[in-house]
Amino acid sequence: MIGNKYLVFYFRIILGGVFIWAGLLKIFDPLGFAETIANFRVFPQWISFFLALMLPWIEVISGVFLILGLFRHASALILSLLLAAFLVLIVVTIMRGIDIDCGCFGSFSQKVDYKLILTDCVLLFLSLNIFFSKSDHFVLFRKKGILP
């Protein structure tokens, strides 16, 4: 894993920003996001609505915490798990031959294809580097108290 404190900080900014942006777009259109989840044909309708209400908030809160350095390991773990689950969902959707948009960025979403797999693998790489990083730099709070 990458140990450079500046690079890990940039990873936090990039990953946190992506998830804040994606989450906010979904928060402003929960019904559209619920419809996108239902299009994957994996979950019952009631679970699609539940996920459409909960996932965007998890994305935004985890993204904000990641940028600020609050609970950064937990936030990176949550985002890593979301990315891993979404990668599995993408692969299953491609294998089933379902042609849909991913719903990741509202109206800016792209088709579920191999480019999306590559994008999510890059984001997963960033989140895992943050998770395994021991860097305690550029955080709002350190273990010994507030930064000077």
> Domain residues for 14?
5-134
Domain assignment of residue 141, yes or no: no
Q: What is the pLDDT of residue 144?
A: 57
Domain assignment of residue 69, yes or no: yes
Looking at the structure of the chain, the number of domains it has is: 1
State the pTM of this model: 0.88
Q: Decide: 82 and 58 in contact? Cβ < 8 Å.
A: yes
On the question of pLDDT at 148 being above 70, the answer is: no
At residue 35 the predicted structure's pLDDT band, cuts being 50, 70 and 90, is very high
Domain assignment of residue 143, yes or no: no
Nearest to 128 by CA among 70, 36, 66, 56: 66
Domain assignment of residue 147, yes or no: no
Domain assignment of residue 142, yes or no: no
On the question of pLDDT at 146 being above 70, the answer is: no
Query: Span 38-60, mean pLDDT?
Result: 95
CA distances, 134 to each of 1, 57, 58, 106, 111 (Å)? 10, 27, 24, 34, 36
Domain assignment of residue 144, yes or no: no
Domain assignment of residue 94, yes or no: yes
Nearest to 129 by CA among 89, 85, 87, 77: 77
Task: Report, in angstroms and rounded to the nearest whole number, the Rg of the chain calculated over CA atoms.
Answer: 16
Mean pLDDT of the chain: 89
Distance, in Å, from the CA atom of 40 to the CA atom of 92, rounded to the nearest integer, reads 9
Domain assignment of residue 114, yes or no: yes
Distance, in Å, from the CA atom of 115 to the CA atom of 45, rounded to the nearest integer, reads 28
